[in-house]
Amino acid sequence: MTGPLVLYEVKDKIAFITLNRPEKRNALNSAILAELAAAWKRYEKDKEAWVAILSGAGKGFSSGMDQVDRDIDRRAYLEATRANGTTVFKPIVGAVHGWALGTGYSLAVKACDLTIASEETQFGYPEVKVGNAGIVPYVPYMHFKRNLEFMLTGIWIDAQKAYEWGMVNKVVPQGKHMEEAIKWAEILKKNAPLTLRAIKYGQYKGVGGLARTLDAEAEWEFEHFTVPQTESEDRKEAIQAFREKREPRFKGR
């Protein structure tokens, strides 16, 4: 596919930011993450954009990290995924449908301040099954035990359960996610822009969203999590099992 991997368009103070790799279910690789990081920077500086809607083109929001192309720049990854009061202070509404898995889940739920999910949406964190997870800070939008259940087991949950667990703000009929997200964006853009920024900053700072600088977090995560996982026998086995469409046989080394 040619063309931008992340679309950016502003209409009446709303920035529409769209993951645009539909042929791969918007799987996240080095290129799309770099473009998303650039889109957030553009949005933050864009005086014509007061609120953003993040969505995915095609059949789903995002299937998560590309299991083939995972050689990514860590800073670009953090800038793309840490939009919740770390790099972006304007409000973001997620319009989610289909799959929101792994880093796709983090973008849909944690990077977006408000999340609208179509009823057929499936959320999951399969990184635990393929042996390569980064640091995913706990933000108390759902109960701590539920958060651990979701992330440690790798289960997939539907939109209604995600709503009950506090992961999304509203579930709408299939295909209505963008329409509803625009309604919420229309409400936000009528509020005082500087006050929205202050509220967002204060809320995330209060739950530790700004506890680390990007550089410090990237360095710490690389040393303690990225290197041990990517250089392990288990990670090589997970990649091979993915290619062979079978369950991985982990050895814990």
Q: Is residue 169 part of a domain?
A: yes
Instruction: Grade residue 84 by pLDDT with cuts at 50, 70 and 90.
Output: confident
CATH assignment of the domain containing 51: 3.90.226.10
The edge-to-edge listing of strands for the beta sheet with 114-118 is 6-11, 14-19, 51-56, 92-96, 114-118, 170-172
The answer to whether the CB of 55 falls within 8 A of the CB of 61 is yes
Number of domains in the chain: 1
Give the CA distances from residue 153 to residues 70, 126, 162, 174, 181, in Å, rounded to whole numbers and listed in that order: 22, 8, 15, 27, 30
Q: Is residue 230 part of a domain?
A: no
What's the rounded Cα separation, in Å, for the pair 191 and 182?
Answer: 15
Q: Is residue 219 part of a domain?
A: no
Instruction: Grade residue 142 by pLDDT with cuts at 50, 70 and 90.
Output: confident
What residue type is 180 in one-letter code? E
Does the active-site annotation cover 127? yes
Q: Is residue 228 part of a domain?
A: no
Mean pLDDT computed over every residue of the chain: 86
Residue 45 has a pLDDT of: 94
159-206 tens-digit pLDDT: 999 999 999 999 999 999 999 999 999 999 999 888 888 888 888 776
Output the CA angle 208-223-237, nearest 5 degrees. 110
* Lowest mean pLDDT, pick from 34-43, 103-112, 193-202, 216-225: 216-225
Residue 184 has a pLDDT of: 98
Q: Is residue 94 part of a domain?
A: yes
Catalytic residue among 23, 48, 119, 127: 127
Q: Is residue 43 part of a domain?
A: yes
What residue type is 61 in one-letter code? F
Residue 51 has pLDDT above 90, yes or no: yes
Residue 253 has pLDDT above 90, yes or no: no
Paired tokens of 41: 């920077």
Tell me the residue ranges of DSSP E strands in 97-140.
99-101, 114-118, 122-124
Paired tokens of 210: 């700004």
Counting other chains too, the contacts that 146-150 makes at CB distance below 8 Å and 24 or more residues apart are 150/123, 150/125
Paired tokens of 30: 């080095």
Three state DSSP letters for 196-224 = HHHHHHHHHHHCCCCCCCHHHHHHHHHHH
What's the rounded Cα separation, in Å, for the pair 36 and 40?
Answer: 6
233-242 tens-digit pLDDT: 776 777 788 7
Q: Residue 190 belongs to what domain range?
A: 6-206
